[in-house]
Amino acid sequence: MPQTLQHALNGRPQPTAVEIFTHGTRLLKSAGPSDLRIVVAGSSTIDMVARAVAVATALEGRTSEIIISPFGAWQQEALDPMSSLRRGGADILVLVNDWRDLVTPMRLDATLDEVRTAVAAKVKSFRVVWDALVTTGVRVIQHLPAEPLARYAGIAERRLPASPLSQMRLAIDALLDAGPEIIFLDMAGLVVDPRAWYGAKLTFGQQALPEYVARMRGALRTATSRAKKVLALDLDNTLWGGVIGDDGVSGIKLGPETPTGSAFTAFQAYVKALAARGIILAVCSKNEPEIAETGLSHPHSLLQRSDFAAFECSWSDKAGGLRRIAQALNVGIDSIVFADDNPVECALVREMLPEVAVVELGGDPAVFIEKLDAGCWFDSQGLSREDFARGALYQARAEASAAQASSGDLGSFLASLDMKGVARPAQADELARVAQLEGKTNQFNLTTRRYDQAQVAAFAERDDAVVLVGYLADKFGDHGLVSTVIGVKDGDALSIESWLMSCRVFSRTFEHYVMREILVTAGRLGARRVVGRYERTSKNDVVADLYDRLGFKRIGEDVWERAVDRDATDLETCITAR
């Protein structure tokens, strides 16, 4: 059914409301095997939402079993240990709530402190539900309700603490603070249909279904750790107007002199803003590389060559170019979003690389931002310091790769990088980044257990457990926090529950450096051996033989051990402590 739905769209970015209803109904009735078990529950009618969730899941290339909870029973289902939700082994729970679930009827002259107390009580009721579920391993996607529409007294409502508008704004901030491990789906801006609410208790109108599906797809990517990381862009008539090879730098349309040039400049500003938020930029263009780069030297070009971590310019097909970009950046092909103005190029990539998200920009640069933004491709639940520095980090990686290509000996090359490392127990302000890596790292991930921030914090507080973090820098730049380890003492062993490493620092001997710290930590905890497990996924083959390479002995199916007191000189590393 996912492929059937993709073909039905025939290249269109989103299904229509009618298609969502039709295909969603079929998906709900399908009885085949499924990748995900998703429960939809809430305080309002959720049948329409369940159809949209089914369609969103299918468009993400997954099959799902959708279970619809009884009307209004979201709290009971979550809190009752014998409910179908708690006993059914759900992977994801979608909680559908409305602003009425967060607003308390109050005197209009209530004080701000009284309002905050009422809001805190509402938020606590949500936290109780979340706590009952996250401990079971269910990922919660929580609707973040839109503000009420009634204006009442206009601007006065913003200044009145007890108004529904003011209560909602306080409640939204409090919900976000209270649920760092919750995936929030922002409902702001979706069309609300009063007839749909009063007639069927629907929280938004059917005309908003296409936009809701796009937002749900973003939330599902977060829940299933399939984030989009790379934006690959064409150049001609995408980042500027015209063809650089024909028109030259002075002839392309870019800058404030014309409406078209202004639109292209605005799109470049949007792309640059995505890069500032951690999205990796790449070029995939049919051009001569030297000529293509000259377009970025235009006086009104906001993007420079250094903004792009990969620059794939050739006359071969763009599907091949995208494959080379994925290989150069060491990311999965399914983590790429490709944007191009040319419908033929877009169709080719859709056909040859269905895993790649394709955004067909068309011919009007005034709507490029709207078209790319509408897909919610890069939705994130939070940003870290490493996200803000990612562009520079990948540029440093590209420089290091170029240096390696010119070096005749890997050992000499690694030594020349002057790498400095840190591996130590995590501090409180690093736990959010640890959880972020848990949620998004797929390749160097030994067990793929996906611990959230609350679970990571619980490990860090235990006397019989440890959370380690690893930092790496080299002569090209500081890569930041790039590795995490969660270990638990079990008898005479320290069991590695989770070990992750960023793809940016593969093949640097950093795994040897981190393992040395794991052995030291195990000894400090009184363990005599370290036990590691490898749980295979479709993306972590790169670490299938890691424990063998680190001198461990296999003691069972996908289980290895290494003695703590064994000489660690075999763990050779080119990294020194900083």
Q: What is the rounded average pLDDT for all residues in the chain?
A: 91
At CA 527, angle to CA 523 and CA 528, rounded to 5?
95
Whole-number percent of the chain with pLDDT over 90:
71
Q: What is the 3-state secondary structure (H, E, C) of 324-335?
A: HHHHHHCCCHHH
Q: What is the 3-state secondary structure (H, E, C) of 295-357?
A: HHHCCCCCCCHHHCCEEEEECCCHHHHHHHHHHHHCCCHHHEEEEECCHHHHHHHHHHCCCCE
Q: How many helices (H) and strands (E) does the chain have?
A: 23, 19
Give the integer Cα–Cα distance in Å for 17 and 377.
20
SS3 assignment, position 6: helix
At CA 35, angle to CA 436 and CA 557, rounded to 5?
75
Query: 248-291, pLDDT tens digit by residue?
Result: 999 999 999 999 999 999 999 999 999 999 999 999 999 989 99
Give the integer Cα–Cα distance in Å for 25 and 22.
5
7 pLDDT more than 70: no
Q: Does pTM surpass 0.95?
A: no
Q: What is the 3-state secondary structure (H, E, C) of 104-130?
A: CCCCCCCCHHHHHHHHHHHHHHHHHHH
The backbone torsions φ and ψ at residue 312, rounded to the nearest 5 degrees and listed phi first, read: -100, 95
Query: 61-116, pLDDT tens digit by residue?
Result: 999 999 998 888 889 888 888 887 777 788 999 999 999 999 999 999 999 999 99
Query: 56-74, pLDDT tens digit by residue?
Result: 999 999 999 999 988 888 8
Dihedral, CA atoms, 338, 344, 348, 351, nearest 10 degrees? 100
At 570, list the tokens. Answer: 């075999």
pLDDT value for 196: 87
Q: Name residue 477's amino acid.
A: G
Q: What is the 3-state secondary structure (H, E, C) of 394-447?
A: HHHHHHHHHHHHCCCCHHHHHHHCCCEEEEEECCHHHHHHHHHHHHHCCCEECC
SS3 assignment, position 483: strand
Weakest mean pLDDT among 31-45, 151-165, 527-541: 31-45
At 548, list the tokens. Answer: 């063998």
218 pLDDT more than 90: yes
Structural element, H or E, at residue 498? strand 493-501
348 pLDDT more than 90: yes
Closest CA to 265 of 236, 314, 302, 312: 302
Q: Name residue 143's amino acid.
A: H
pLDDT value for 566: 87
At 102, list the tokens. Answer: 């967060």
Give the integer Cα–Cα distance in Å for 380 and 222.
7
pLDDT value for 405: 61
* Domains, in order of start, for the chain: 2-223 (3.40.50.1110), 230-373 (3.40.50.1000), 417-577 (3.40.630.30)
CA 400 to chain centre: 26
Query: 367-413, pLDDT tens digit by residue?
Result: 999 999 999 999 999 888 888 878 777 777 767 766 666 655 677 78
The answer to whether 260 and 317 are in contact (CB under 8 A) is: no
pLDDT value for 10: 59
498 pLDDT more than 80: yes
Largest CA distance in the chain: 77
At 472, list the tokens. Answer: 């790496």
Give the integer Cα–Cα distance in Å for 531 and 577.
25
- Spatial neighbors of 139 by CB under 8 A, at least 6 apart, are 91, 92, 93, 183, 223
213 pLDDT more than 70: yes
Give the integer Cα–Cα distance in Å for 44 and 73.
9
Query: 124-149, pLDDT tens digit by residue?
Result: 999 999 998 887 888 999 999 999 98
